[in-house]
Structures are given as C-alpha cells and as structure tokens.
A = this chain, B = another copy of it.
Amino acid sequence: MHAIVIDKPGGPEALSWREVPDPRPGPGEVLVDVTATAVNRADVLQRRGLYPPPPGASPYPGLECSGVVAGVGPDVEGVAVGDRVCALLSGGGYAEKVAVPWQQVMRVPEGVGLAEAAGLPEVACTVWSNVFMTGRLRKGETLLVHGGAGGVGTMAVQLAKAFGSRVVVTAGSAEKISLCVELGADEGINYRTEDFAEKVRADVILDIVGGKYLPGNVRALKTGGRLVVIGMQGGAKGELDLGTLLAKRASVHGTTLRARPVDEKGVIVRGVVENVWPLVDAGVIRPVIHTRVPMSEAAEAHRLLESGEHIGKILLVS
C-alpha cells in the first residue's frame, strides 16, 4: 500500500507518499481500507518530531479515518468485513490501509458521507470525553470554548447546545465568530481585541491554548468550575493561582486522547456512539468540513492547517 512517511522531522515537505508494507490485523484488530483521514494538530507536532507515536502505534500520522472493513483478526466483536466504518486511531490514518482495535471502530452516522465521516471520530471523542466525561457539563451550565471555529470547537459548540448548555466561544475573526453563532453559540469573543477573562464566567472551559491562558481561564471559572486543557498552543507552563482555585472550589484537568489505553478509548467510543451519533443521525449536529485534499498532497493540507485560516476539519481523501 501507500502511506505518508515522515523520513526526517521538519516542515510540510517532510511528508512523502510512498510504497510501504501492508498492515495486518492482529488479535482484536480490524483492517480498514481507508477512504479518508483528517488532519489534526497532533499530526503537525508528529511531523515536527515533537509528538512521537505511542509504543505499538503505526509510525505514519493520522488519528482517525473512515473506510470499509477489509479484514478482521481473531477476537474481534461487532465488526465484519464489508462494514462501512469510521475509527479513532493511535496513528496510521494517512495510508491506504490501517489496522485498529475493534473497540475504536464506530458505525458511520446516518446522512454522513463515507469520506466526511473521517472528520468525526477525533472531534466527537475529544468533546465527549473532555466536556462531558471529564468536565461533567450539565444542562443550563455555561461552556467556554477556546478556538470555537476549529474542528474540536465546532463539535463542542453543537454538542453543548444540543445538551442544553449556554456556549461562549473565542475565535480570531468576525467570520469565525459568525460561523460559531450559526452553529448555536450564544456569544463570541474576538481574542485579538477582547479579554475573555473580563467578559465571561463559565462552569466548564475547553482550552487548547495552555500556559498563556491559565491565569485568565482560572479567573473565568465560576464556583465549582472545571478547566479542561487539551492543547498547549500557548506554552506548557503557566502560573496557577491556588487562592482563586480554592475559593472557587474549582479544578484544572489535563488530558490527551491518543495515549490512553484501548479500554479507555473503548469507553469513550461507546459513549460517542450512544450519545453523539443519534444527534448526527437526526441532523442536529453536522460535521464541519473545510475542504478535501488528496492524501498524497498531505503537505498542502498541513500548510493550510498551520495557516489557521481553516474553519472546521481538513480531510485527506485517498
């Protein structure tokens, strides 16, 4: 098969489309003929050599895919050859075939094209696990989403609104804020011109910025609030004011999806299929796709992601 190989960490040009050995499904694994994958910020970090694949994962980038099941190893449950699926991966989505534990495989929601479905697993699992499982967002509470117009952001806005919360987003342009409001956001804050910590008090904050936003995020929490940090685009370290944290009886959570053991991913995936997919089936939630790029031109897709000008997901189709 062909896959995107990273010979040497570096810029987008480090990504080359090459012949590599086919993967084989091991015990508990499903082999997927990949229709599409999607670009995530973690792929950019991996390309730069800053986010090596966890032990046992494919060396190729790609944390999610869609396609058709082409084979199953022993001890696989609930998945059969010929099924149209999408899946959460530990890596290897930028390829014609990928092997994945059956616990991470999901049906394609109704009304969603097979390629389009490649853009759902990461954002759905990220939002479900962080906002609802870790952050325990409840009906009537306020969610603040940083980067509301990104892939994770657009899913967070839609899902939190569908579950009856108030949603405030930050984004870097009026156009991006408009999209978030169209998707249901109650309020948008342009982080280039406004200080979010002056404008909003939230029960749950979903943050991709990290260190730079830590003091503002803690200030923006309500009593009992939960700050969930899933990215560090603004640095890894920040000052934590425990005086405020204690007075608010608040918490700061850090998580990543990729490094979790298969069992934990399975719990998240089941939660998504039970709670998120019915809303996608019903058309309440829609995948927000910015564009599709041929998988062999992954470098182009990375340049686009790094420009920050996309809204929603960038798909790589084979």
Q: Does A242 contact B (CB under 8 A)?
A: yes
The distance in angstroms between the C-alpha atoms of A246 and B126, with both chains bound, is 13
Stretch at the interface among A13-21, A101-109, A253-261, A304-312: A253-261
Shortest C-beta distance, A238 to chain B (Å), equals 6
Contacts of A260 in B (CB 8 A): 249
Which residue of chain B has the shortest Cβ distance to A207 in the bound complex? B242
Contacts of A1 in B (CB 8 A): none
Q: Give chain A interface residues in 246-278, CB to chain B under 8 Å.
A: 246-256, 259-260
The distance in angstroms between the C-alpha atoms of A241 and B256, with both chains bound, is 15
Whether A243 touches B239, Cβ cut-off 8 Å, given contacts A248-B254, A249-B260, A251-B252, is no
Stretch at the interface among A68-76, A78-86, A116-124, A228-236: A228-236
Whether A240 touches B239, Cβ cut-off 8 Å, given contacts A248-B254, A260-B249, is yes
A230, A243, A251, A260: most-surrounded residue (chain B CB, <10 A): A251
Contact B248 A242 (CB under 8 A): no
Secondary structure at the A interface, as helix, strand, loop or mixed, is mixed
Whether A255 touches B259, Cβ cut-off 8 Å, given contacts A210-B242, A243-B236, is no
Could you list some 14 contacts between A and B, CB below 8 A?
Answer: A210-B242, A232-B242, A237-B242, A238-B239, A238-B240, A238-B242, A245-B254, A246-B254, A246-B256, A248-B254, A249-B254, A249-B256, A251-B251, A251-B254
Chain A residues proximal to chain B, CB less than 8 Å: 134, 210-211, 214, 229-230, 232, 236-256, 259-260
Since A210-B242, A239-B240, A251-B251 are in contact, a sample of 16 more A-B pairs with Cβ atoms closer than 8 Å, ordered by chain A residue number, is A211-B242, A229-B245, A236-B242, A237-B242, A237-B243, A238-B242, A239-B239, A240-B252, A244-B254, A246-B254, A247-B256, A249-B254, A249-B256, A250-B254, A251-B252, A251-B253
